[in-house]
Amino acid sequence: MSDQTPKIKIVGRIFVNFEIHALTGLHIGGAAGTLAIGNVDNPVIRNPFSNEPYVPGSSLRGKMRSQLEKLYGLAQNVSIGRDVSIHSAKTQAEYDNSPVLHIFGIPAADFLTEPTRLIVRDAALSEHTRTAFRDARTDLPYTEVKWEAAIDRVTSAATPRQQERVPAGAIFDGALTFTLYNDQDTELFNTVIRGLELVEEDYLGGQGARGSGQVAFKKIEISFNHHEQAVLSKHKLESLAELRALWADQGYAAK
């Protein structure tokens, strides 16, 4: 084995549990052909076993990445699917200097890279929301149907359409894990916090420009485990603002 082979060592991990509060109706789409209920035009994604809507980790992770790429003005230069592109590095220097790429990873490259640091879990309905919605008279199980009208710009004719949403007030139990490969990664975690802040400022899921998808991250629990220094700390916080303040107090503020 060559001495140039990169050595990947886990220094520690940061575990974050949080609640995702839907401040407005939330729509994260599912496949209409298999998940539609009651002939809804645009259904939400549901757990096929429980029939409950959930927030896929890929949706939150992808939104964080896209918002951070826009924040830093990064080019969408790699296609990962139909009409979907992400930013990736073309050179070692570009990768080395990009916090976004270190956090989210990149497709296979011919230069040295590290594994993705950020894992975002699927977020299921909280037990409180599950109970409340089970007793509520919602249009469909756990969801509402929002009627909209598409207006023809020439004839002014209105075409009605349906949009399934999880009602405002729903809470999902989310979690993420951030792996530390060196001590500088504690500062890199500030970018993860910023990504969550950007989601709060924007929206999660679809139809955000028409009012859907405003969320807030609350009831945050963070555990920081540094293997080599035998550091284990746990904190309970109410908001991202408190999380950012805590991380600065720990000496890990962004430089």
Q: Which residues pair with 160 in a beta bridge?
A: 149
**Given a cut of 70, is residue 106 above it in pLDDT?**
yes
CA distance 115 to 179: 9
Give bridge partners of residue 245 from the DSSP assignment: none
Residue 176 has pLDDT above 90, yes or no: yes
- pLDDT tens sequence across 144-160: 888 666 676 666 666 66
Per-residue pLDDT, 191: 96
Residues 6 or more apart whose Cβ sits within 8 Å of residue 61: 104, 118, 120
pLDDT of residue 33: 47
Is the pLDDT reported for residue 222 higher than 70? yes
**Model-level pTM greater than 0.85?**
yes
Q: How far apart are CA 215 and CA 203, in angstroms?
A: 7
By the 8 A CB rule, do 95 and 78 touch? Answer: no
Q: pLDDT at residue 4 above 80?
A: no
pLDDT, mean of residues 207-226? 92
Mean pLDDT across the chain, nearest whole number? 86
**Band (1; pLDDT cuts 50, 70, 90):** very low
Tens digit of each residue's pLDDT (9 = 90 or more) over 22-78: 999 999 987 654 444 456 678 999 999 999 999 999 999 999 999 999 999 988 887
The confidence score (pLDDT) of residue 231 equals 61
* pLDDT computed for residue 28 by the predictor: 93
- What sign has the CA pseudo-torsion 222, 227, 229, 232? positive
The CA-atom distances, in angstroms, between 170 and each of 24, 119, 135, 197, 200 are 9, 23, 13, 19, 15
Residue 252 pLDDT class (50, 70, 90 cuts): confident
